[in-house]
Amino acid sequence: MKPEIIEKKKLGQYAVAPYNFVSFPKKAVVKYKKIEELPAHNDFKGLSGYVEYTLKAETPIIVSTGVKDKQVHFFINTNGKYAIPGNTIRGIARTNCQILSFSNIIGEKDKEGNYENSEIENSRFLYRDIAGNNSLSARYKSILGVDVTRRIAKNVKAGYIVNRANKYYIEPAKELKVGVPYFRIDEIILRRIASNKNIDGINFMYKKDLLNCEVELKEIKREIAKNKDNKSKERELNSKLKSILKDLSNERIYKPYQTGISFEFDSKTGRIIDINRKGILSQNGYLLSGGFILGKLSHYIVPEADDKSGNIKILREDIEAYKDDLIRTKKMNNKEEIFKGKEFFALPKKNERKPVFYINTDRLHFGFTPYLRIYYTKTVLDGVSQLYKDTKDVSYTDGIFGFSKKLKRDDGEDKNFNYKSRVSFEDAEVVGEPVLDEDSVMTIILAEPKPTSYNLYLKQDKDADKKLLKIYEDDFKIRGFKQYWLKDYIEKPELEDAKAEEMKFTIHPLKEGTIFKGRIYFTNLDEEELGLLGWALKLNDGCYQNIGLAKPYGFGRVKVEKVKLYIEDLNKKYDYFSFDYFNEDDLDKYINIYKRNFSDKYLNGQDIENIDTIKEFMLIKSKVIKIKDANNYRYMELNEFRNKKALPEILKYEEAFLENNIKRSKKSGNVAKKDSYSKIDRNYKNSNTAIADAFRKAEENKNKKKRK
């Protein structure tokens, strides 16, 4: 299948994504109220047997066990066959069972209030949003106490973070001038007073020629300040400023740094007047600057620690949250090894100390630049309703698939219980000769918006202004189970970011039309459990499963076909010693038993298929997106993502974009009328020539960049 390049059109009032979320049910359902009620594995009163099925790939498919030399090839099992591993099928069936049976995926709360068995990580996210004009940036500026005029954050203090036996403390720095806990110094000033003093460790963001542009830059900044109310002029001036700085940029070689220095400052103004090597001038401290941002010129000085101030202990959970954030922001790997070039952001090693910035108001926040990333007060699982997450006992899914270290109250104390799975999954092997799809061999990137993207991952009013969007504070709700939209095309991603080379790899899929055959074995299930397992595999008529890598781009849409159920006849097996002891049965019969019983027992007779959770799930598993609608089912680009628009829910998704198109067509109708009138305008020819020239110049600039 030949990949398609998506024509990206301007978005309307909503966000778009190749995925959406199936909402959690209002309340989780329990199948077994006591551990003792679970069927014993040596008791064969229930149903045992297997389900045989085939999977037909409707789009190219790639299932792999890993990356080698940035190449991803299809999995080959121990039989030497191309196959979808049994564990992959198991994972899909288990997730589907959880959704279809309202199973609690959070687990139980322990004595410390933690959810150790939760399938959703109970993260406490950190964030920074200084430039936005939304609900998050408003909160960020409030916590930092940002004074835009003075370009300072009033609540931010400076000090040193120290590691004592893997416990972390902050030693506050001396406040040499009241209200000035640290000093800011412009790179132009720093170049002028420090360039010829052989101070080790200073990294400059711009070339030395920056000094020659001092007068011009000052004039532009003055003009920007004058034109705060003229946004068009302000944008023009900022663009001019950045253009000058871009030509002087040291971005390719610059690295964030911290280095010991001595300095002098003007006690009246608080300005730095001299810098030298450590111990030469009257005050000692650290000079530092964080990551490169075009337009940024600030370096900072943290005075030495104040021996008279008490230390501030950093809670272990805050250290763990900071480490998680380093991993999330691609500065550290899961083994807690800092990536090369990101050492500036690492926590100090044992007995080491580093300059740090912190806020210690309602809670402690810390980071290595003044505009630090700060903690949300809530964690992810605060966004899950109590009726769903605080459900003890055993769900349908745990009863079928088993569990380990499940926390249960027994004789007045919490104990861990284990239960072995009653199902097993064979590899689904390719039928016939596998055919590699050369057309869809492509390079993709493992990157997408993460749960920190609150406009996508939290429930929002679809028409909410970005200033009113829910964040991980107050009364928020997470969206639910992430699922990918199905597509009848393969999208070719546009990869231009050279910085993400380490995240790119090339996939080698099998062709659409490939058929796989597999089996699911089950032991001692009751009729409801067998029905749930069968429904999780087959879903409803017209539904598909999606399997493997690159699902956002349309890979891995499969049709479940030729499903056959075989149940053991124990009389034949043991009384007649027959080797042919399986009877074929009707799986749909058990699926209907499950649906009917579930509706009667847990929904007061309401049909389970009329519950929003199930309607959402079946819609996203049956709706196949056509190429003409691709614009609404793609990843957003960075400039689109910055707009912080809400992602409509599954059941309202199509309707939202229909409304969007109607509004857009009305607007374009008005534009068309204006254009028809403009043709008789005397300046029509000149105005269109100006537009044509603008496009021509833009194209020339683009081509120049390509040649470079």
- Give the other-Cβ count within 10 Å of 41's Cβ: 13
Give the range of the structural domain holding residue 434, as residue numbers without chain letter: 19-109+385-445+485-588+617-648
Three-class HEC string of 547-610: CCCCHHHCCCEEEEEEEEEEEECHHHHHHCCCCCCEEEECHHHHHHHHHHHHHHHHCCCCCHHH
* Number of structural domains found in the chain: 5
Q: In this predicted structure, what is the pLDDT of residue 666?
A: 56
Least confident interval from 201-210, 285-294, 698-707: 698-707
The yes-or-no verdict on residue 608 having pLDDT over 90 is: yes
> Are 354 and 490 members of one domain?
no
- pLDDT tops 90 at residue 700: no
Element (H, E) at 517: strand 515-525
312 pLDDT higher than 60: yes
Contact by Cβ (8 Å): 333, 385: no
Domain assignment present for 226: yes
Residues 631 and 576 in one domain: yes
Q: What is the pLDDT of residues 380-432, one digit of tens each?
A: 999 999 899 888 789 999 999 999 988 776 666 778 889 999 999 999 999 99
Lowest mean pLDDT among 129-133, 145-149, 675-679: 675-679
Higher pLDDT, 9 or 687: 9
Residue at token pair 């004074």: 147
Report the DSSP beta bridge partners of residue 399: none
On whether residue 103 sits in a domain, the answer given is: yes
Distance CA 643, CA 132 (A): 9
177 Cβ neighbours under 8 A, 6+ residues apart: 265, 267, 270
Residue type, 135: S
Across residues 105-125, what is the average pLDDT?
86
pLDDT of residue 677: 32
pLDDT surpassing 70 at residue 687:
no
In whole angstroms, give the CA distance from residue 422 to residue 188: 70
Residues in contact with 629: Cβ distance below 8 Å, sequence separation at least 6, in sequence order: none
Task: Please give the pLDDT value at position 291.
Answer: 93
- Considering the chain, what is the average pLDDT of its residues? 88
336 and 242 in a common domain: no
Q: Is the pLDDT of residue 661 over 70?
A: no
332 and 241 within one domain? no
Same domain, 283 and 222: no
558 shares a domain with 435: yes
- CA angle in degrees (0–180, nearest 5) for 611-612-617: 105
Task: Please check whether residue 1 lies inside any domain of the structure.
Answer: no
> Strand pairing partners for 550?
none
**Could you give the CA distance from residue 57 to residue 185 in angstroms, rounded to a whole number?**
61
Query: Is 79 inside any structural domain?
Result: yes
Please report which helix (H) or strand (E) contains residue 435, including its range.
none
606: in domain: no
Between CA 134 and CA 129 the distance in angstroms is: 9
Question: Within 10 Å of residue 370's Cβ, how many Cβ atoms?
Answer: 21
Going by pLDDT thresholds of 50, 70 and 90, the confidence category of residue 70 is confident
Q: What is the mean pLDDT of residues 635-642?
A: 89
Most confident of 67-76, 270-279, 686-695: 270-279
Instruction: Decide if 281 is inside a domain.
Output: yes
Question: In the predicted model, is pLDDT for residue 652 greater than 70?
Answer: yes
Per-residue pLDDT for 559 more than 50? yes
Q: Which residue has the higher pLDDT, 44 or 539?
A: 539
Percentage of residues in the chain with pLDDT exceeding 90? 67
Is residue 139 one of the residues assigned to a domain? no
Three-state secondary structure readout of 156-224? CEEEEEEEECCEEEEEEECCCECCECCEEEEHHHHHHHHCCCCCCCCCCCECHHHHHHHHHHHHHHHHH
Q: What is the pLDDT of residue 173?
A: 97
pLDDT of residue 546: 95
Q: How confident is the model at residue 112 (pLDDT cuts 50, 70, 90)?
A: confident
Whether 632 contacts 648, CB under 8 Å: no
What's the CA gap between 704 and 234, in Å, rounded? 26
Total length of the chain: 708
Q: 590 near 534, Cβ under 8 Å?
A: yes
Same domain, yes or no, for 625 and 491? yes
Q: Which of 323-337, 425-439, 694-708 is least confident? A: 694-708
Separation between Cα atoms, residue 325 and residue 442, nearest integer Å: 31
pLDDT in tens, 10-39: 888 899 999 999 999 999 999 999 888 999
Residue 668 has pLDDT above 90, yes or no: no
Which residue among 345, 375, 405 closes a domain? 375
pLDDT digits (tens, 9 = 90+) for 472-529: 998 999 999 999 999 999 999 887 655 567 778 899 999 999 999 999 999 999 999 9
702 shares its domain with 629: no
Assess whether pLDDT exceeds 50 at residue 693.
Answer: no
Q: Could you count the other beta carbons within 10 Å of the beta carbon of residue 665?
A: 10
Angle of CA points 296, 297, 300, to nearest 5°? 110
Give the C-alpha separation, 377 to 363, whole Å.
Answer: 9
Q: Which amino acid is at 461?
A: D
| Cα distance between residue 101 and residue 397, in whole Å | 7
Nearest to 162 by CA among 319, 349, 303, 365: 349
Specify if 122 maps to a domain. no
C-beta of residue 590 within 8 angstroms of C-beta of residue 530: yes
- Do 324 and 296 contact (CB within 8 A), yes or no? no
Average pLDDT, integer, range 456-472: 88
Task: Please provide residue 219's backbone torsions phi and psi, each rounded to the nearest 5 degrees.
Answer: -65, -40
Q: Which residue would you say has higher pLDDT here, 99 or 195?
A: 99
- What pLDDT, on a 0 to 100 scale, did the predictor assign at position 650? 95
At residue 606 the predicted structure's pLDDT band, cuts being 50, 70 and 90, is very high
The Cα–Cα gap between 246 and 301 comes to: 25
Q: Distance (Å, rounded) from C-alpha 467 to C-alpha 134?
A: 4
Q: Are residues 644 and 582 in the same domain?
A: yes
Which of 78, 24, 54 shows the shortest CA–CA distance to 520? 54
- Give the pLDDT band (50/70/90) at residue 151: low
| CA–CA separation, 698 and 694 (whole Å) | 6
Q: Mean pLDDT, to the nearest integer, of 97-114?
A: 89
**Would you state the pLDDT for residue 669?**
53
Quick one: 226 and 276 in the same domain? no
Q: Are residues 353 and 297 in the same domain?
A: no
Identify the pLDDT of residue 662: 59
pLDDT level of residue 658 (50, 70, 90 thresholds)? confident
E strands of 210-343, at which residues? 257-265, 272-276, 283-289, 298-303, 312-313
Give which of 152, 187, 153, 207 is closest to 299, Cα–Cα: 187
H or E element, residue 137: helix 135-144
What is the rounded CA–CA span in Å between residue 619 and residue 611?
12
Is the same domain home to 287 and 368? no
